[in-house]
Amino acid sequence: MQTVSCPSCGAPVEFRSHASVLAVCEYCRATVLKEAGAVRDLGKMSEVLEDYSRIQIGTSGILAGRSFTVVGRIQQRYAAGMWNEWYVLFDDGLDGWLGDSSGQYVMTTRRELAPGWPAFDAIQVTRQYDIGFGPYVASDKRVAKCTGGQGELPFRVGEGWEARVADFRRGPSFATLDYSDGTPPLLYAGTAVTLESMKCQLLRDDEQIKASAGKYRGKVDILQCPSCGSSIRYVPGLAANCVCPSCTARLDASTPKVEVLLKGEQNERVPFTLTLGAIAKIGGYDYRVLGVMRREDNEGEAWNEYLLYSTQGPFFWLIETNEGWSRSDVMDDWPTPPLPAMNTVQVDHIEYKRTWVYQARVLYAAGAFNWRVAAGDVVHVAEYEHGQNGLAAEHTNEELTWSRSTPVAEDQVRAWFKLPVAAKEAKAALSGSDIAWKALLWMFGLNFIPLVANFGTTLAWMLVGMIALFLPLLLTPEKK
């Protein structure tokens, strides 16, 4: 470890990695450049947005038997959202990056670039490329800007620094070609991870986040739409892209002052089974409906989608169609091959067959989302099925995602959200006691007719039998 004095304020600035060339002074935000025998002040670095990530400088963990510590961070923003790149130092002296976006994580390290790499402008999302260790599919292509940084970093970066990156996937494997410094690009490769699988320590808890940001991680706050004044529930930092449910204005809530990105119009609210802000108890955790969308396909068939979030779990979607409900989770371990043009793909050695290819268009959106969404947005979708389970590949020119869906019974959804039984179901359903009473009354009526003129022992025994049949029903309490 090397400690130097900040040339701006004199405070100690630590460089724990020999590969680090830049550090941000935690006292005055000066960008300190380490040069041979000296340090230089490059000016102030913008503070990172408090996005309520559990990771912080000093967080440690273990990956494949190698211990690591987080020593720095840069924050990247692009047209539809933002993400964190945490700079990590391994105990063997090597370094890497922990990507952090909406509760999904990938760990990558620098690799040797092989010949035949594609030019940035030539990369097309959903196409397959050999980037040095087999075929990977292009999953993301972005031009992003650095909006803040902290800790130490292995290269010079400042506010407005632009990153040109393309991401690739195969199964759980992940790779990035970074063209930020021109060509040839830098290659980073690794795998999807979770904080639990890496046994991360020194993660921020709710109290620490409250002390630094004034709010708990995952706490649902209420903001007032600057356009019309309506209230919107959202998770600060994690779901900072909002659509007003009243005037459909698109808002950026990632800064202290909420910004209206695009004004909307007063529209009639689309009816949804689940309301914004509704809370469900799922798997022992409280989940809240943050955003709602209504989408339709090429043939005009529409369905509803609900974005759910819990402080103990990742985002997932509840899908409501004419055929019922399903749960959809974004996949970290992609199918093979991960190409939406294939007729069949495999997940966990199970084959899924492609059943439907269409375009999905957003008809209506309201609430908070972890990316920017608006009415009129279109994505290309390929759906695959195996039994009742399904996969879906959704892509635009910039991004490809895979999700896995499983059916959910309607009464299960109603139990989660404590919804009343639908009126049509209540009207159609007859209780077991109602059916039994009607059947017995018919039996009594049919048998009583020939006995009207007969007042002998046959009628007496008939009455005894009827009492024996009716008595259990009379003693059974009615179900509510």
Of the listed ranges 46-50, 123-127, 306-310, the least confidently predicted one is 46-50
Residue 215: pLDDT over 70: no
Residue 24: pLDDT over 80: no
- Per-residue pLDDT tens for 397-456? 999 999 999 999 999 999 999 988 754 444 444 344 455 445 555 555 555 555 555 555
Residues 6+ apart with CB under 8 A from 270: 294, 363, 364, 366
The rounded distance, in Å, linking the Cα atoms of 382 and 395 is: 9
The confidence band for 322, taking pLDDT boundaries of 50, 70 and 90, is very high
Residue 462: pLDDT over 90: no
The confidence band for 267, taking pLDDT boundaries of 50, 70 and 90, is very low
Q: Which stretches does DSSP call E strand in 171-218?
A: 173-178, 186-193
Q: Which residues of 371-392 are buried (b: 16+ CB within 10 A; e: fewer)?
A: bbbbbebebbbbbbeeeeebbb
Instruction: Give the residues across from 404 on adjacent strands.
Output: 329, 391
Q: What is the pLDDT of residue 232?
A: 67
CA distances, 426 to each of 234, 324, 420, 421, 438 (Å)? 35, 18, 10, 7, 18
Instruction: Give the residues across from 166 on adjacent strands.
Output: 141, 177
Q: What is the pLDDT of residue 438?
A: 57
Picking from 235, 431, 419, the residue whose alpha carbon sits closest to that of residue 314 is 235
CB 111 within 8 A of CB 185: no
Residue 346: pLDDT over 90: yes
Q: What is the pLDDT of residue 211?
A: 57
Of the listed ranges 247-251, 252-256, 346-350, the least confidently predicted one is 252-256
Domain ranges of the chain: 2-193, 218-417, 430-475
Q: What is the pLDDT of residue 155?
A: 78
| Stretch 139-168: mean pLDDT | 84
Of the listed ranges 24-28, 31-35, 256-260, 395-399, the least confidently predicted one is 256-260
CA distances, 471 to each of 437, 462, 464, 468, 477 (Å)? 11, 14, 11, 5, 12
Of the listed ranges 13-27, 317-331, 434-448, the least confidently predicted one is 434-448
Top-confidence residue, 245 or 168 = 168
| Stretch 271-295: mean pLDDT | 88
- What's the predicted TM-score (pTM) here? 0.74
Q: Which residues of 39-60 are buried (b: 16+ CB within 10 A; e: fewer)?
A: beebeebbebbbbbbbbbbebb
**Length, in residues, of the chain:** 480
Q: What is the pLDDT of residue 429?
A: 41
Could you identify the residue written with the tokens 């402008």?
Answer: 121
Q: What is the pLDDT of residue 459?
A: 56
